[in-house]
Amino acid sequence: MSKDLYVIKPKKVSILLENMIKAAAESWNPIYLEDSSSLPDLRNKRILLAVELNEAGYCLPVLQAISALHDIGKDALKGAAAALVIHSPNELNTKSTAADVIFHMNQLGCSFPGHPLVEAIEGLRNFRTWQKTLNLTLEEICMEQCKALGLRLKDHNRYCFETPKITALHSSSSTVSNTVALWDMVAENLQSCEFQYLNVENGQVRDCNGCSFKTCIHYSKQSSCFYGGVMVEEVYPAIEASNAIVWICQNQLS
């Protein structure tokens, strides 16, 4: 795999975001893309989105880049993989921006590793929980998280299965649900797949009662829970045995 990392970023970024980019690209050869009008072919490439939000919660250069990729075509990012680093001058909009960017890049064929985002809000307050177990400053923790993100992106691979196992979760009546009927139409066009349907009815899934940390971690190591029930007996095993999960959720008008 190429060591080139294509970094889509604004021309002007804060010192903090610049350092986040450098940390994430530490094990790469970074190629900076600051002009959305002349983007190279990014198919099968590794990409880092560096997002500098303004007070209103927008990063226009990155939005322009994604718009330009849409103009190229629906396969503009086919085979590509990406991650994000985001800096906000306040506590807002980092997650909503990341979700929007990931959605649009997914539409263009791009995949993302698990935990594809490092966000830095005002004062780096979102890293305080990490500081309880790490003897580091907030900025040092942020940089370490960015380095780890760069390594996750490097190790990320798309998995191909000859016979994918798909678990479909729903809580509707199979005979009258339009949503389940819609999924059935989709499933008919998915070839060489194994399907498992789980109907999780109202009242079957219990709310967490807040066990102590030691009790919870003890049962979680066994992929279990003190309270048992359908989640432990059916849902957890099905998820672990699956290559993909489909959540069949209907829209409800209030």
- Digits of tens for pLDDT over the chain (254 positions)? 689 999 999 999 999 999 999 999 999 999 999 999 999 999 999 999 999 999 999 999 999 999 999 999 999 999 999 999 999 999 999 999 999 999 999 999 999 999 999 999 999 999 999 999 899 999 999 999 999 999 999 999 877 788 999 999 988 877 788 888 999 999 999 989 999 999 887 667 777 878 888 888 888 888 788 878 888 888 888 988 999 999 998 776 55
Q: Is 130 in the same domain as 44? A: yes
Whether the CB-CB separation of 200 and 245 falls below 8 Å is answered with: no
Whether the CB-CB separation of 166 and 245 falls below 8 Å is answered with: yes
pLDDT at 67: 97
Residue 160 domain-assigned (yes or no):
no
Of 155, 184, 213, the residue that ends a domain is 155
Residue 254 domain-assigned (yes or no):
no
Of 155, 182, 206, the residue that ends a domain is 155
CATH of the domain at 101: 3.40.50.360
Cα–Cα distance for residue pair 217/67, rounded to 1 Å: 44
Q: Is 117 in the same domain as 32? A: yes
Q: Count the domains in the chain.
A: 2
Residue 253 domain-assigned (yes or no):
no
pLDDT at 236: 86
pLDDT at 224: 82
Q: 232 lies in which domain range?
A: 165-247
User: If DSSP codes are grouped into helix, strand and coil, which group holds residue 21?
Assistant: helix
pLDDT at 29: 97
Whether the CB-CB separation of 62 and 68 falls below 8 Å is answered with: no
The structure tokens 């209907």 sit at: 250
Cα–Cα distance for residue pair 196/104, rounded to 1 Å: 29
pLDDT at 204: 72
Q: Is 31 in the same domain as 57? A: yes
Residue 234 domain-assigned (yes or no):
yes
pLDDT at 76: 98
Cα–Cα distance for residue pair 156/25, rounded to 1 Å: 15
Q: Is 55 in the same domain as 105? A: yes
The helix or strand, by DSSP H or E, that contains position 65, with its residue range, turns out to be: helix 60-72
Residue 235, CA distances (Å) to 43, 114, 225, 239, 251 in order? 36, 21, 12, 6, 22
User: If DSSP codes are grouped into helix, strand and coil, which group holds residue 99?
Assistant: helix
Q: Is 11 in the same domain as 104? A: yes
Q: Is 121 in the same domain as 146? A: yes
Among candidate residues 13, 62, 57, the one with its CA nearest the CA of residue 36: 62
